[in-house]
Amino acid sequence: MRILSGIQPTGDIHIGNYLGAIKQWLLLQEKNECVFFIADLHSLTVPFDPKILQKSITEKIISYIAVGLDPEKSIIFVQSQIKEHAELAWILNTLCPVGELERMTQYKEKSKKFKDNINAGLLDYPVLMAADILLYKTDAVPVGKDQTQHVELTRTLAKKFNQKFGKTFVEPKAILPKFGSKIMSLTNPKKKMSKTDNPQSYISLFDTPENIQKKIMASTTDSGKQIKYDLTKKPGVSNLLTIYSLLTDKPIKELEKKFKDKGYADLKKSLAKTVIEFLEPFRKKQKELVTRDVYIKEILSRGKNRAQTIAQTTMQEIKEKVGLV
């Protein structure tokens, strides 16, 4: 199968992202042809700083390689370097009713948030995403739940194109994060862990051991003393147990037994140690990669070449079908 996903260039990556999504990508790249790219064109649709965009892109690439995306196994590149993404987006635009785009949940949310900058790109965002996906004849797209509507639109556009111009595209499926892998905020366990919140509420994959320790020890727990998984009565403790369980591959039941006669502080101490040990190799690798400028450039240049070969072939086929050549 061909698997593809895009990564926004901005923001920290936290353990919620790792356990919910990245872990799955690492498994997928073992047995499939995977394509991962930095969606820099998408990032232009909300306010951004052109002076730091390149730096954010490089940092993101380094972070993902540090946690295990493997340039030997996957195609890794930057979206704007392959002009066919924008080219195909234009053609798909002509098949996409404006009304469908106006109905998209993310568009509605972002137009509320960025009232002074409701640009056409923001509305068109899902069509560019459809182009990303279809250009590589992708079978499946691992994404967060907030992106499933966009993958649905991609299927609709693929179907329309196929009907109008002859069978060209696969209708891609979304692959959703596994059940039970939703990690909540450390300061408000009723809310999802998010990089746009206060840094105390999440653990970045590259946080220092001291910071990890502090954040976990200060995390919100619940009334009572018992260490038990109970989402309604004990959302804080349940969240800590979930993180613990996912990092150690130990079932929650076993952890409840382990901490049967212990208090919240014991759970937190033990979890902090586990998280620190788990993240240590990522931090080391990231530190090393930051100094290897040439190596990173090489990875991107190879990724670009591989992506381009596929993109140009598909685009040629599309142009022929549409009558542009």
In this structure, what token pair is assigned to residue 72? 């030997």
HSE-up (13 A, CA, CB side) for residue 20: 16
CB 212 within 8 A of CB 268: no
Whole-Å CA distances, 94 to 6, 78, 157, 221: 23, 25, 10, 52
In this structure, what token pair is assigned to residue 191? 């809310």
x/- track of binding to ligand TRP for residues 130-159 (CB under 6 A): --xx-------x-x---x------------
What is the DSSP secondary structure assignment for residue 204, as one 8-state letter? B
Residue 72, helix vs strand vs coil: coil
Name the segment binding ligand TRP (CB under 6 A); options: 4-12, 183-191, 193-201, 246-254: 4-12
Number of CB atoms found within 10 A of residue 154's CB: 25
Residue 4 C-beta: closest distance to ligand TRP, Å = 6
Residue nearest to ligand TRP (CB): 6
Looking at the annotation, which residues are catalytic?
110, 192, 195
Residue 297 C-beta: closest distance to ligand TRP, Å = 23
Name the segment binding ligand TRP (CB under 6 A); options: 2-10, 246-254, 256-264, 293-301: 2-10
Total residues binding ligand TRP (CB under 6 A) = 12
Q: Output the CA torsion 125→66→62→23 (10° steps).
A: 0
Closer CB to ligand TRP, residue 27 or residue 265? 27
Task: Identify the CA nearest to 289 among candidates 113, 8, 61, 56.
Answer: 61
Residue 142 C-beta: closest distance to ligand TRP, Å = 8
CB 107 within 8 A of CB 122: yes
HSE-up (13 A, CA, CB side) for residue 135: 31
Residue 261 C-beta: closest distance to ligand TRP, Å = 43
Name the segment binding ligand TRP (CB under 6 A); options: 5-13, 67-75, 115-123, 237-245: 5-13
x/- track of binding to ligand TRP for residues 211-230 (CB under 6 A): --------------------
AA letter at 256: E
Closer CB to ligand TRP, residue 141 or residue 227? 141
Residue 216 C-beta: closest distance to ligand TRP, Å = 27
Closer CB to ligand TRP, residue 60 or residue 215? 60
Closer CB to ligand TRP, residue 6 or residue 189? 6
Residue 152 C-beta: closest distance to ligand TRP, Å = 13
Q: What is the longest distance spanned by two Cα atoms in the chain?
A: 74
Closer CB to ligand TRP, residue 122 or residue 237? 122
Name the segment binding ligand TRP (CB under 6 A); options: 125-133, 242-250, 272-280, 296-304: 125-133
CB 1 within 8 A of CB 188: no
Closer CB to ligand TRP, residue 4 or residue 101? 4
Any contact of residue 129 with ligand TRP (CB under 6 A)? Answer: yes
Q: DSSP readout, 116-145?
A: GG--HHHHHHHHHHHHHHHHTT-SEEE--G
E-strand stretches of the chain: 2-7, 33-38, 74-78, 140-142, 173-175
Which residues 17-76 are close enough to bind ligand TRP by CB under 6 A? 39, 42
Which residues have a Cβ under 8 Å from the Cβ of 177 and sit 6 or more positions away?
20, 21, 24, 142, 144, 145
Residue 296 C-beta: closest distance to ligand TRP, Å = 21
The contact set with ligand TRP (CB under 6 A) reads 4-6, 8, 39, 42, 129, 132-133, 141, 143, 147
